[in-house]
């Protein structure tokens, strides 16, 4: 079985309380972690029909007092991936 191509386009990611200077690092971490989640866990059941989703609510999550962009990006990606399955 050959792998399918999956395209995820995030037009806007809103994170309150973080510096704009952190955005590129967080965005890159989100991209890497989403790629890993899709590769390891596959397409969330909510997306198996192949329909586009106009918005995904990833909800909220707690983080430590000084999260790194890498760790924060991984948390965001996990929330987005979970939101895709709803």
Q: pLDDT per residue over 9-53, tens digit each?
A: 788 877 777 888 888 898 899 999 999 998 899 888 767 666 666
Residue 20 has a pLDDT of 84
Does residue 1 register a pLDDT over 60?
no
- pTM of the predicted structure, to 2 decimals: 0.77
3-state SS of 43-75?
CCHHHCCCCCCCCCCCCCCCCCCCCCHHHHHHH
Give the residue among 75, 83, 77, 26 at the shortest CA–CA distance from 54: 83
Show the DSSP H helices in 1-86 as ranges.
23-41, 69-84
Residue 40 has a pLDDT of 92
Residue 44 has a pLDDT of 80
C-alpha dihedral, 72 to 25 to 11 to 65, nearest 10°:
30
Residue 12 has a pLDDT of 81
């Amino acid at each position: 079985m050959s792998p399918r191509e999956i395209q995820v386009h995030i037009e806007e990611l809103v994170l309150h309380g973080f510096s704009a200077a952190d955005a590129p690092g967080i965005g890159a971490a989100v991209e890497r972690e989403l790629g890993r989640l899709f590769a390891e866990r596959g397409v969330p059941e909510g997306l198996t029909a192949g329909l586009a989703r106009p918005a995904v609510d990833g909800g909220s999550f707690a983080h430590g007092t000084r999260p790194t962009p890498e760790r924060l990006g991984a948390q965001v990606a996990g929330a987005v991936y979970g939101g895709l399955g709803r």
